[in-house]
Amino acid sequence: MSIGEEVLVVFGGGAAGVYGAIRAKTVAPKLNVVVIEKGKPLSKVRISGGGRCNVTNGHCVDNKIYILAERYPRGYREFRGTFFDVHGPMDTMSWFSDHGVDLKTEDDGRVFPVSNSSSSIIDCHLSEAKQRGVFLQTGKVVTTTNATAGGKFLFKLEKRTLNLVECIEADYLLIASGSSKPV
């Protein structure tokens, strides 16, 4: 990273963190984006949809999110959050098509990669992140975060296998730790 450039640290390399990092680099290509992941990136995506990854619902062709929410057995309220107002099911399908993942819609509306493998979704995200210059650090745990007097964020990272501790500073922070408790 060059001195003087702004840094976004994304805490968590799951679906939210990796997609968030790609999106940040898309809208702000000069931003340094670092994803810190304690295990393997996108590991929950690998097991999602029985290993096939159900990316959205293809019956919501008008992008109306309430239709998607009604078809989702859990988390109805969360589905109606602001994200889906700006990025609905059709946007999801277009994004994957534009990034080389062929999708199919099953009779019940569930949308999967034609490959029937969540690896297609993982490979697409990791390749896009690499191409855009997202810096992915795996095997490192964020153990503390503090705000500095200068308005930045200071993180302590631990690589437990090597008994290594390092500190990094960031201008922006995206917490995407999933169901793990943020530190």
Positions in the binding site for ligand FAD (CB under 6 A): 12-17, 36-39, 43-45, 47-49, 53-54, 141-142, 176-180, 183
Shortest distance, CB of residue 133 to ligand FAD, whole angstroms? 20
Nearer to ligand FAD, 31 or 141 (CB): 141
Nearer to ligand FAD, 32 or 53 (CB): 53
> Which residue from 72, 52, 78, 68 is spatially nearest to 179, judged by alpha carbons?
78
Cα dihedral sign, 6-11-15-16 = negative
Helix (H) or strand (E) run with residue 138 in it: strand 135-138
Nearer to ligand FAD, 30 or 181 (CB): 181
Q: What are phi and psi of 24, to 5 degrees?
A: -60, -40
The one-character DSSP state at 181 is: P
Shortest distance, CB of residue 35 to ligand FAD, whole angstroms? 9
Residue nearest to ligand FAD (CB): 14
